[in-house]
A and B are shown apart, each in its own frame.
Chain A
Amino acid sequence: MKAANFSIAQLRSAYAAGDLTPAEALKSVAESIDSIDGDIGGYLSYDLDIALKDAAKADLSLPLGGVPIAIKDLINVEGHPCSCASKILDGKYQSPYDATVIRKLREAGAIPFGRTNMDEFAMGSSNENSGIKPCRNPHDLDRIPGGSSGGSAAVVAANTAVASLGTDTGGSIRQPASLCGVVGLKPTYGRVSRFGLVAFASSLDQCGPMTKTVEDAATLLQAISGSCDRDSTCLKEEVPNYSEAIGKDIKGLKIGLPSEYFAEGLDPAVKAKVETAIKQLESLGAEIHEVSLPNTEHAVATYYVIATAEASANLARFDGVRYGHRAEADGLIELYKKSRAEGFGDEVKRRIILGTYVLSSGYYDAYYKRAQKVRTLIRNDFEAAFSQVDVIASPVSPTPAFKIGEKLSDPLSMYLADIYTISANLAGICGISVPCGTVPVDGKELPVGLQLLGKSFGEEDILRAAHAYEVS
């Protein structure tokens, strides 16, 4: 019995039936990792001994009792490494504390197990920016798993994990979920605490579940949601019962299709899959309406100004002083410059430089402040759309997974592939990617995801719609 093949719900049933213990499950997951993950590279590390100690105390009556959850390598788990897939931290940093999401997972009975691969500091859409090792798509090892939570998606897709946590700043949960064929949910900004997540862009980052089923996503979201006295941006909004939301029918649910998301640039095969999924939602009783998000074309430019500006400030802490890599240097400034030069990879350097530029004196108004104003326009678009509909349906990624190396030397073309996901982060709303079939490419079947966007704190709507579609 391979535990990593199970969903959370199936694993819990196996525990309840006495077919498996948490310790046996962990050993089985470790075996799956050892036998399969070498080719995929979804994990950076795991520590079975620590996990087995947690398993010995597991309370199976809890909602995630004894369930191992793989953790993206930018989320702090006490006593574990947290490298952010960067040479600046790899082998040089052990978390001295638990992130709030980890504390909450433990309170729900889960066992954090395994550190998943990612783009360095979550900067990337392909996992090719990992400073440690490449991660491959389990459906075609020549292709990218998506990013930045590429490892968290790949391990769930490859059945080397039951479920995982990822983070999403511009699509980093939804896009790899789509390309790997798993479920990925980005919560509303402020739904989940960011305390203990290594920050990329603080006004955009959210942590969320990556799972095999929508039901599992609801279970995991339930566990990690809620206010936090160590993250003032985590809102005191009441947490509903997400598991109760799923299973309800979607008769009369109003679903909007933004015309701008089905325009030029969308792969016809992906478009066909998404349109079939939307027809299916209609046949289940949803009402389909056309909506418009007219500022969509400006989202990528807006995002890459705001996200890099915030990143340049957040990553100033990696300076070789308090933790991480320290270069040999004579003076203080040289120590900073050399430590950062040796520790950061290409994309991180590019984004810090771009972010520093848009915040610098004389350019702040032209770039950063202007981008913040366009961000308001993008939010207004969603506000107007959500006054007409409950949920917005669209593709997640304009194409299926592309080949490793295909876009690496052209950062702008990589950024443009984020077009359908980044607006949700700018607007702060929630979104889910749910698998909607595969398309044949070069003799392989590559997954396609359907994106369902919900209004702020509309997680119940998108879970309900995603679940109705999934089980139909």
Chain B
Amino acid sequence: MNVRDVANLARIELSDEEASRYQEQMDQILQYVEQLNEIDVEGIEPTAHAAAIFDVVREDVATGNSLSQEAVLSNAPATAHDQIKMPKVVE
């Protein structure tokens, strides 16, 4: 694994010091995780959830449980015109 490349995918900027420290730690962890490749999992179904539940649906009606616009915006780092303000995305 190249820590810097993966950090880029994860949208985390790393300092040089972090990148070299994590690289060493991550190599060690991945080496340990390699043991999974020695296990025979032929024909074994994967478990995504301890309690398998599928397609939980409710009636398609508004529950009235949603937060108000004011509550949603109350934690936003920057707002303008009752919306979340962002840096320019499209030139």
Contact = CB atoms under 8 A, between A and B. Distances in A.
A21 to B, nearest CB: 33
Main secondary structure of the interface of A (DSSP, over half): helix
Nearest to A380: B44
A324 B67 contact: no
Q: How large is the interface on B (under 10, 10 to 19, 20 to 34, 35 or more residues)?
A: 35 or more
Given A338-B13, A349-B18, A353-B3, A305 B53 contact: no
Contact of A353 (B10, B46, B51, B78): B10
B11 A96 contact: no
A78 B76 CA distance: 16
A53 to B, nearest CB: 20
Interface in B53-91: 53, 56, 58, 65, 67, 71-72, 74-78, 84, 86-89
Q: How large is the interface on A (under 10, 10 to 19, 20 to 34, 35 or more residues)?
A: 35 or more
Contacts, number: 169
B9 A190 contact: no
Interface in A291-346: 295, 297-298, 300-302, 304-305, 312, 316, 319-326, 329-333, 335-338, 340-341, 344, 346
Interface in A396-430: 411-412, 415, 425-429
B13 to A, nearest CB: 4
B37 to A, nearest CB: 7
A74 interface: no
Contacts of A230: 65
Given A349-B18, A377-B39, A360 B46 contact: no
B6 A325 contact: no
Contacts of A253: none
Contacts of A97: 67, 71
B87 A304 contact: no
A143 B13 CA distance: 33
Interface of A: 92-94, 96-97, 189-190, 203-204, 229-230, 232-233, 235, 295, 297-298, 300-302, 304-305, 312, 316, 319-326, 329-333, 335-338, 340-341, 344, 346, 349-350, 352-354, 356-357, 360, 366-367, 369-377, 379, 411-412, 415, 425-429, 456
Given A229-B58, A349-B14, 4 more contacts: A324-B75, A335-B86, A341-B13, A373-B47
9 contacts: A189-B50, A190-B50, A323-B76, A338-B13, A344-B12, A353-B3, A369-B46, A370-B41, A377-B39
